[in-house]
Amino acid sequence: MVDYPALRKDSADLLGTEVTAAGLFVIDIGWVKPAAGGLAGALAGDVAATAIGLDGGLAEGLTEGAAHVAGKHAVYQGAADAAGITPVMVLAVTSDEFVLMDWLGNVRSGTGPTTVFARFPRATSSVTSTQSGPTRRIVLTEGDVEARIQCTLGLFAPGKAEMRQVLVALGTE
């Protein structure tokens, strides 16, 4: 479980300034690529099921479901690696800027931040938000630098109170 007060403190220590809100957000690579990753994962599930001698029924469904998740994760990891970032990032809000930093882990556990990826001055940056069900997609833009991230505020989403605080601080909630 993520200790959000510690995350806020660690973010403030790294940035050298007070952090009013901090949450974990995931790289948003759009709708097409995750679906392709899921398809690749499902195909890998077919191969895995055949290789270990499973066919039909629940075992196949479980194998394909797990492979779909693994394929989707691989797409997110690949997109993050290509951009030189982590798939899950800390978004910290200060009085002067929005800051994206590394997070080594997932939205339920991990460590960080240790590195600043991007800084978006509040005075000159654009923040846009869209919603699709429980998912919020955020685009931070400053000049020709753009960051696309997302979070889920679903019923069982971890850290949703903290993510809501960040969304309020961004002016999108």
pLDDT, mean of residues 53-58: 45
Cβ neighbours, 10 Å, residue 13: 11
What letter does residue 158 receive in the DSSP assignment? T
Contact present, 169 and 120 (Cβ < 8 Å): no
* Residue 165's CATH number: 2.30.29.30
Whether residues 122 and 101 share a domain: the answer is yes
Whether residues 70 and 121 share a domain: the answer is no
Whether residues 118 and 137 share a domain: the answer is yes
* pTM of the predicted model as reported, rounded to 2 decimal places: 0.72
Whether residues 97 and 134 share a domain: the answer is yes
Q: Domain containing 90: what range?
A: 4-29+86-170
Whether residues 162 and 115 share a domain: the answer is yes
**Cα–Cα distance measured from residue 22 to residue 167, given in angstroms and rounded to the nearest whole number:** 10
pLDDT category, 28, cuts 50, 70, 90? confident
Which residue has 């800027």 as its token pair?
A: 97
**Cα–Cα distance measured from residue 17 to residue 6, given in angstroms and rounded to the nearest whole number:** 15
Contact present, 76 and 70 (Cβ < 8 Å): no
pLDDT value, residue 38: 37
Whether residues 90 and 149 share a domain: the answer is yes
**Cα–Cα distance measured from residue 100 to residue 139, given in angstroms and rounded to the nearest whole number:** 12
Whether residues 77 and 134 share a domain: the answer is no
The mean pLDDT value of the chain amounts to 77
**Cα–Cα distance measured from residue 47 to residue 112, given in angstroms and rounded to the nearest whole number:** 36
pLDDT category, 29, cuts 50, 70, 90? low
Whether residues 154 and 91 share a domain: the answer is yes
Q: How many domains does the chain have?
A: 2
pLDDT value, residue 54: 43
pLDDT over 90 at 84, yes or no: no
Whether residues 77 and 109 share a domain: the answer is no
Separation of first and last alpha carbons in the chain = 25
- What single-letter amino acid sits at 63? T
pLDDT tens, residue by residue, 87-110: 889 999 999 999 999 999 988 899
pLDDT over 50 at 50, yes or no: no
Give the Å distances, CA to CA, from 24 to 7, 29, 53, 137: 9, 16, 39, 13
Whether residues 43 and 102 share a domain: the answer is no
Whether residues 48 and 66 share a domain: the answer is yes
Cis peptide before 87 (omega within 30 of 0): no
